[in-house]
Chains A and B, each alone.
Chain A
Amino acid sequence: MSALVEVRDVTRVYKRRDVQALRGVSFDVEAGQRFGIVGESGSGKSTLVRLLAALDRPTSGTVSFDGRRIDNLPERKLGFLRSSMQIVFQDPMGSLDPRMRVRDIISEPLGRRSPERVASLLEAVGLPAEAASRYPHQFSGGQRQRISIARALAPNPSVLLADEPVSALDVSVRAQILDLLARLVAEFSLTLVFVSHDLGVVRHVCDRVAVMRRGEIVEIGAVEEVYETPQHEYTRELLAAAPNLRAELARLSGGSAQDA
């Protein structure tokens, strides 16, 4: 059985600025996986997201979805991908039309009105039914992200592509949205591709992770292995640099002797 998403030797060069955003990236995402992509700014994460969603084309290499190449298809032939793969972006305010009511935002991917579907989607993401008649600005950041998730689920996708979905949110809201995503992925048997700069967040939701640096995947593997026994120098550096609350708390409760 072939993987749901297959990326092979993909490069992407932005000629005008002479930037090699991706330098030969290959990986598979199997159906049902929760696949994390971590990297810092400039690592090529966002370029990769655009290629996976066929919003951009690779300079060389191939991207396939469900056994079909998508990197060379014109937009009119990408309908199958558009409904099967849905994206949740970082900034919900930038991805929700401020002049549309929530019910219209959520039913837009359906191409028709369906109050029942809107109601069940709102319920799935933990928003009250009255939310349907309101506008995005009437919600908090976390609630708006719930609206984006409801919209993403509307066409019954098989893959959810989440690009830094919690980076703009407060910590308490962040945990709620991550738990919501994890629950929905299980409930609707989704495949999740989760892109983030935050190692802790990826560890929380993903079972497999690719670590990117300067357009390349430097390490890929099961989340537990990569976090517990990182093989690549850069992964170790990233893990060491990430603020670790557990370690800090352990140090604080470890007594007064060493930090006096």
Chain B
Amino acid sequence: MTLTVDGLRVGDLVRDVSFSLGAGERVGLIGESGSGKSLTALSIMGLLPDELRATGSVRLDDRELLGASERELSRLRGNGLSMVFQEPMTALNPAMRVGRQVTEPFRVHGRRGRSAEELLAAVGLPGTARAYPHQLSGGQRQRVVLAMALANEPSLLICDEPTTALDVTVQAQILSLIKDSLSENAALLFITHDLAVVASVCERVLVMLDGEIVERGSTRDVLTAPQHEYTKALLAASDLEASR
């Protein structure tokens, strides 16, 4: 699997964004609110709001995703391509038992798969299949979302600030769950504003500012020897201990 984003543009909000992601790679996309991180992710998923249009090219192997029909994209989403959002409560159906929700990717894609119990147990939630989302904590809900996203063993998983709404101890659990449960050949695009998180999860980083990628490289190079002024400023601001 290779994801190739080439000259992606969404109005003025994302400009000339290009990068590629190969099998097994874990890449972080960092930047502050309004920098265009989430729009980049939504463009890849074909989930941009109606009033926005992406131009350029997003290819999954040889298939062009921009401009692909909804029918084609639906076949990919939750299958080859899946996404975990920041707020699990809005990603889950409040009126459906979580057991039925985690197996939905199988039904939608006409596959047979593991049982709800098995999928939930794999994310550390045995015996919760009959629960509704509101009966679970925030961290448990995010585990359910992750179980759904991983059900069909996607070749690309996009996580958009998956732990930002969670408590620190829960955040640590979800991060290690993401690292451990992603299959070796799957690629990960991990969006976050937290440099410590990106350092612990990703081997490569893209830094976005005002809709453009201003710096890219291995996590080590970018975080220990940043070249762009903005990356330097971001590091300085994130390192509260330095200025204490």
Contact = CB atoms under 8 A, between A and B. Distances in A.
A257 B109 CA distance: 43
B237 interface: yes
Nearest to B173: A241
Contacts of B195: 171, 245, 248
Interface size class of B (residues with CB under 8 A): 20 to 34
A229 to B, nearest CB: 17
A199 to B, nearest CB: 7
Interface string B156-195: 0000000000011111100000000000000000000111
B214 interface: no
Given A171-B32, A248-B199, A253-B224, A204 B167 contact: no
B233 interface: yes
Given A252-B224, A253-B220, A175 B243 contact: yes
A244 B236 CA distance: 14
Q: Is the interface of A mostly helix, strand, loop or mixed?
A: helix
B196 A171 contact: no
A203 interface: yes
B138 A175 contact: no
Q: Is the interface of B mostly helix, strand, loop or mixed?
A: helix
Given A171-B32, A203-B240, A245 B167 contact: no
27 contacts: A40-B167, A40-B168, A40-B170, A41-B167, A171-B193, A171-B238, A172-B32, A172-B237, A175-B237, A175-B243, A178-B240, A179-B243, A199-B168, A200-B241, A203-B241, A204-B241, A204-B244, A241-B168, A241-B169, A241-B172, A242-B168, A243-B171, A245-B195, A246-B241, A248-B199, A251-B199, A252-B224
Contact of B240 (A141, A175, A248, A252): A175
Interface string A153-193: 00000000000000000111111101100000000000000
Contacts of B170: 40
Contacts of B48: none
B223 interface: yes
A171 B234 contact: yes
Interface of B: 32-33, 138, 167-172, 193-197, 199-200, 219-220, 223-224, 233-234, 236-241, 243-244
A193 to B, nearest CB: 19
Contacts of B167: 40-41, 197
B244 A203 contact: yes
Interface of A: 40-41, 141, 170-176, 178-179, 197-201, 203-204, 237-238, 240-249, 251-253
A247 B241 CA distance: 11
Nearest to B31: A170
Contacts of B200: 243, 248
B244 A246 contact: no
B201 to A, nearest CB: 10
Contacts of A175: 236-238, 240, 243
Given A171-B32, A175-B240, A247-B196, 7 more contacts: A171-B194, A176-B237, A197-B168, A241-B171, A241-B172, A248-B196, A252-B224
Most buried by B among A171, A237, A246: A171
A204 B240 contact: yes
